[in-house]
Amino acid sequence: MTEPNIVDTKPVIMNLEPGTYYWCSCGFSANQPFCNGAHKGSEFTPVAFEVTEAKKVAICQCKKTGNAPFCDGAHASL
């Protein structure tokens, strides 16, 4: 696989607690938007990100963002 799978054409809005998270960059995880290891054997790797305080975030699901893992509106051009 050379292109990520587009999971959705809009972000998922989530309330996240402090911690380290791993965003699925390949789009094949069954645990979207988080990595479950489905990328193994491909050129994709999960994107680790830290949340330092509880907050609401918009996580990219089109996998085209330039600000991974957060939505930057790239889905609007799909």
**pLDDT of the chain along its 78 residues, tens only?**
689 999 999 999 999 999 999 999 999 999 999 999 999 999 999 999 999 999 999 999 999 999 999 999 999 999
- Would you list the DSSP string of 22-42? EE-SSS--TTTTB--STTTTS
Q: pTM for this one?
A: 0.94
Distance, CA of 38 to CA of 63 (rounded, Å) = 15
- Tell me how many domains the chain contains: 1
Does residue 7 lie in a domain region? no
Does residue 33 lie in a domain region? yes
Distance, CA of 57 to CA of 67 (rounded, Å) = 13
Does residue 70 lie in a domain region? yes
Distance, CA of 3 to CA of 49 (rounded, Å) = 22
Q: Which structural domain range is residue 23 located in?
A: 12-77
Does residue 6 lie in a domain region? no
